[in-house]
Amino acid sequence: MRQWRSIAKEAIDRASIIVKFLCLLHVTDAYVVSSNHVLGPSMLPTLNITGDVVLVEHLSHRIGKLGSGDLVLVRSPLDPNRTLTKRIVAMEGDRVTFSLDPTRSFSSRSLVVPKGHVWIQGDNLYVSRDSRHFGPLPYGLIEGKVFMRVWPPNSFGLLG
């Protein structure tokens, strides 16, 4: 009987360690840093069309440390099941001038980014669906700041 108690205690201790590790892993992934696979041509030449794996930190946007020029991972306002990687072009209160069709610059519009919003655009304006199409992005849809490319190995390094 003592042998079974010893085995059960050992199993519970090991299971407890595994559960604690998984909890730590979840908290780290959700609130500190995570990886994300970015595909598509909208961020050319900054990110590759064939796909890059980037690291995203989840602290800056929570403490208000984002600014124009930062790459961010955002929840799509058109499809909540998708995430987008774009560059912040303007913060709340900034005036932004844009054209829906970059080939026809004479048809530009101008607006002031409202409070609690940012203006995001892809680096490749010709194929990017961004704030020019869906308007200013609510700050709450920002999931994190992209700060490093980890794949492919020949492009490893800091972004921003």
Give yes or no: 42 in active site: yes
- In degrees, rounded to 5, the angle at the alpha carbon of residue 47 between the alpha carbons of residues 64 and 41 is 110
Catalytic residue (choose from 9, 86, 110, 131)? 86
159 CB contacts (<8 Å, ≥6 apart)?
46, 54, 71, 146, 147, 148, 149
- Coil, strand, or helix at residue 151? strand
Beta bridge partners of 137: 118
Contact of 138 with 120, CB cutoff 8 Å: no
Catalytic residue (choose from 42, 128, 131, 145)? 42
Q: List the catalytic residues.
A: 42, 86
